[in-house]
Structure 1
Amino acid sequence: MKAATSRGGFIHLVSLLFFAIIFFPEWADYFELWDTSIVYAHGFLVFAAILFLLIQNRDEIIALPLNPSLIALLGLFALCAIMLVAKAADIKTIRLLAVPFIIACWGWAIWGFDYLRKAGVPVLLLVFAAPIWDDMSPLFQAITVFFNRFLLEIVNIPAEIQEFYITIPGGTFFVAGGCSGVRYLMVALFLAPFYGYLYYKNFSRSLILTLIAGFLSMFANWIRVFGIIVAGHVTDMESSLIEDHELFGWITFIILCLVPLFFIARALEPKAALDSSLNGIPRSGKVSRTNNVGMTFPALATAFVLAVPVIFYSQTVLFEAENPDWTPAVPVSNEQWRGPLRFAEVWQPSFVNADVSEDLMFVSEDLQRVQFSLVGYRSQAQNKELVYYRNRLFDDGWQQLSSNRRALEPTNVFNVDEVTETMLLNESTGRTVLVWSWYEVGDFASPSRLQIKLVGGLLALTGDSKGAFLALAGQCDGLTLDSCGEQREAFEAFISAVERS
């Protein structure tokens, strides 16, 4: 028995080291996120709580018998495939979010459902520190504005509301992303299941506590924003809370969320340990099938996880095709369009570390002008990517007036059926420019950054990571989209008439 326990402890210790090494880039991104982002600073607390629960359950985890699950193994295969594409496409959110699910599914595939109960649930708490929550900020900003409208009406403070702007007689407040309350929501949603895992013996109590925690955190944020607006109204915008309300926010969160949540959590605690389930998840009724499957499932599950970095690095790093002479095809002149004229830019995109950059001007027979711009990457790597947060359609000298998608006839030389149409204003000269833009990887063209990321990731797994940003630009006659009609017609004529070489 002692030998089996010792062997089990060694296996789980090795598994910890295995996942630490296999997902080292993801762990590094997690720690960087928690260290640099005020919204995710609680991530260190979440990580410590996960380690605490795993250490607390270590004896029961070590004693788990093999109880393989085919469903979990298939789920693990799907998760590893998603992780592989996300790594190739460098979709950070999906990469980081997949880590806890892969770990939980790996253990489930080997030790059965009891592994989820003892180790999977603690590991999945990492979701509350993963970079998915700030994407929800616009939704919670809108909810905060919605409820503050009613609160201001109750206290008879006149307010005019436009999107996230709340204007009162004394001034205007902008409910920014930091005012959405997402960080308070994450903390509350983490604490509730953590408490439930420690003290409750059925899932329903933990779920009820989590729902209450979510509501109380949002309510606390509504009152926080309302208090700041009232302070601005009463002091004629002189209150220090208007500029510095970090401490006020946490005090409000503690008083209106954490304190009542503590008493509610105590009230929900079971009076007697009569439930047959532990930690909110029922026991698996399956019998161990160790003798039937041997080490097949553990080997397959581990191989699936190991294949992710092996395939990724072999295809995208070791065997990536070199394209030292590759340049995206550019339009060539014909009887209808003459050019290209170089160094005659109407506008220029702002991309970093590109291998190829061209701005070419074409002029039609009736003197319509179209600028063709391209930015190409022969290979992509860290900080040298086609879709990258530092790559922008325009630099600080321009202001965006509008942006939307525009459908095109697919029968054009660029093989694109939709573009992003953007109208820009040059802040120094006052002139306006219309831009049609899209991306190109392989034979696929799209204005969607997500689609390009996904398709580019799949192509990168074949050793081909090259790609390009393409755009047409021309001047408008005024400040509205209606003034760009002639330029839009010129774009349509250009893409239907030219050829590429």
Structure 2
Amino acid sequence: MLKHFLADWRSIPQLKALLLILLVVPTVFFSTTQSMINIWLVNETFTHGFLILPIALWLIWEQRHRIASIAVHKDLRATLVVLPILGLWVLATLIDVAVVRQLAMVALIPASVWLILGAPIALALLFPLLYLFFAVPLGQSLIPPMMELTADMTVYLVQHSGVPIYRDGLSFELPSGSWAVVEECSGVRYLIASAALGTIYAYISYRSFSKRALFILASLIVPIVANGFRAYGIVMIGHLSGMKYAVGADHLLYGWVFFGIVIFALFWIGGFWADHIKKDETEKLDSSSIQTPPSALFGMGVIAVMLATNLAVTTLKSQQAALPTNASLILPLRAGNWQATDLAPSGWAPMINNPDLAGQRTYIRGDEQVTLHVGYFHTQRDGAEAISSLNRLTSPYDGAWKLTASRAHKTSVGSIIESEVSLGQDKVFVWSGYLVGDTFVANSYMAKLYQALALLHGQQQAAYITISTDFDAPLEQLRGRLDSWWSVIHKSDQGAILALKNEG
């Protein structure tokens, strides 16, 4: 086997060219690759990213005899795809839209194969090349709606099991105890893992497009439904055991065991319709069918253009003015009839990653209390940007505060992201959003658009802002409390916009 491997490797120049493209493009855009790896390392939902490139290489190797006989030639039509993708990467890098930057970098790999080796080879390897997109850590935006869906299914199934249940948002009460659907319960990690596994299984097991499409669709639907039953099972085990089981470490273990059983069942059932194609293990390469190797000079020229683009963008970003060392963050002392106080805020605080400046201030009005948290970013860069998934209301790793509800809400002066976080019996009501220049934006995608417009004027400053209050009153009363503070700050000449400016 090793002898055949080495013989095929030496005799098929297309394999060497493909391997170089697969390795050189991520190396040229190493900062983008590193941003993906950092997420794979810290977020269990995307740990499978480490396996995607080896899987793609194996799939390409399986096609080696086929691609060896395909004529190789550069295809300049691909520049109509490569250049816009490269431009998208430049824009996403300048305004730090990590996921777009990552998608653009991965998209450059199949586009480069098309450009350097030609369309026939790119089409022959279309699936392995497209499978690389599973390496991009996508799916965080699915967490809130899947949390809601999980809560809906759980409550529905518990009710129809004859157990009394009271629901409050993503939290619910049973006679035996309290439960809440948190981020880890959303099922997003099961969905993403199932999609990655189901797609490769469909490609290997089936030959018709319809079979592959149906199985991939099943690999998306089954984990969503199964996650609802998983959550229901955990609640019922806890309820029937008097909250002795499925409430600690075995809660997580039960979830992964259940998911493993579901995936095994999905693949086992799918195996009944698999297309069993015999492969000639003694198949050997006909050296007379090997086509001319690709032009190394042209390929080097393509890589040189990418490298020059990367260096130009890196140089441009490095020339951004640094924050003065004696800068300070000034937060307002008053907001209408709200007065700043030295009283300690609640135990909750947002997770703001590497801000240039950060501050908090608590305000009181009678017996009501509101806390402002600000993370200010003078420039936007990897691991330190206002509009980033790294800035969160809670940490998914420390087991403390949990996000139990999140939704868009329209205030008297604009939209906001409204959330609820809890720790045991403690509950905090939060509004959050982004300040880009002089504009407050709730939606992260719109905030990035405003950031791109601000960049055209040489401005990079932005801030992540939250205002919060203890959940000690009905929802509408809490909304009125935060709205009365926020509307004054939003309209004031000495409001949040000026208060965020730094003094040198």
Alpha-carbon distance in structure 2 between the residues aligned to 1:32 and 1:253 = 25
Partner of 2:93: 87
Partner of 2:185: 179
Alpha-carbon distance in structure 2 between the residues aligned to 1:359 and 1:464 = 24
Partner of 1:311: 312
Cα shift at 1:95: 2.5
Cα shift at 1:137: 2.0
Residues 53-96 of structure 1, C-alpha deviations (whole Å, 9 max, x = no match): 12333454455434666764323333222222222222222233
Counterpart mapping for 1:478-497 below 5 A: 480-482=478-480, 491=489, 494-495=492-493
Counterpart mapping for 1:71-470 below 5 A: 72-240=78-246, 243-269=249-275, 302=303, 305-306=306-307, 308-317=309-318, 319-321=319-321, 324=324, 377-387=377-387, 404-406=409-411, 418=414, 439-441=435-437, 446=441, 448-457=443-452, 465-467=460-462
Alpha-carbon distance in structure 1 between the residues aligned to 2:497 and 2:162 = 65
Amino acid at match of 1:439: L
SS in structure 2 at match of 1:225: helix
Amino acid at match of 2:80: L
Q: Does the Cα contact within 8 Å between 1:103 and 1:120 map onto a contact in 2?
A: no
Partner of 1:365: none
Amino acid at match of 1:37: N
Amino acid at match of 1:191: L
Point out the more displaced range, 21-30 or 114-123. 114-123
- Identity value in percent: 20
Partner of 2:3: none
Could you tell me the TM-score, scaled by structure 1's length? 0.68
SS in structure 2 at match of 1:172: strand
Matched, 1:36 2:31: no
User: Which one of the candidate residues 26, 33, 42 is aligned to 1:27?
Assistant: 33
- Number of matched residues? 452
Q: Which runs of 5+ in 2 are unaligned?
A: 1-7, 280-290, 335-339, 362-370, 395-399, 422-427
Residues 382-402 of structure 1, C-alpha deviations (whole Å, 9 max, x = no match): 4543445676899x99x9999
Cα shift at 1:489: 7.1
Q: Does the Cα contact within 8 Å between 1:406 and 1:421 map onto a contact in 2?
A: no
Inter-CA distance 296–224: structure 2 relative to 1 (3 Å threshold): same
Could you tell me the TM-score, scaled by structure 2's length? 0.68
Q: Does the Cα contact within 8 Å between 1:69 and 1:112 map onto a contact in 2?
A: yes
Amino acid at match of 1:11: A
Amino acid at match of 1:196: A
Alpha-carbon distance in structure 2 between the residues aligned to 1:498 and 1:136 = 31
Alpha-carbon distance in structure 2 between the residues aligned to 1:357 and 1:180 = 31
Partner of 1:56: 62
Alpha-carbon distance in structure 2 between the residues aligned to 1:491 and 1:241 = 43
Alpha-carbon distance in structure 2 between the residues aligned to 1:218 and 1:498 = 41
Q: Which runs of 5+ in 1 are unaligned?
A: 274-287, 332-336, 338-342, 361-370, 409-417, 426-431
Alpha-carbon distance in structure 2 between the residues aligned to 1:232 and 1:187 = 27
Q: Does the Cα contact within 8 Å between 1:401 and 1:423 map onto a contact in 2?
A: yes
Alpha-carbon distance in structure 2 between the residues aligned to 1:11 and 1:63 = 15
Amino acid at match of 2:385: E
Point out the more displaced range, 18-27 or 484-493. 484-493
- Give RMSD over aligned pairs: 5.4
Cα shift at 1:299: 7.8
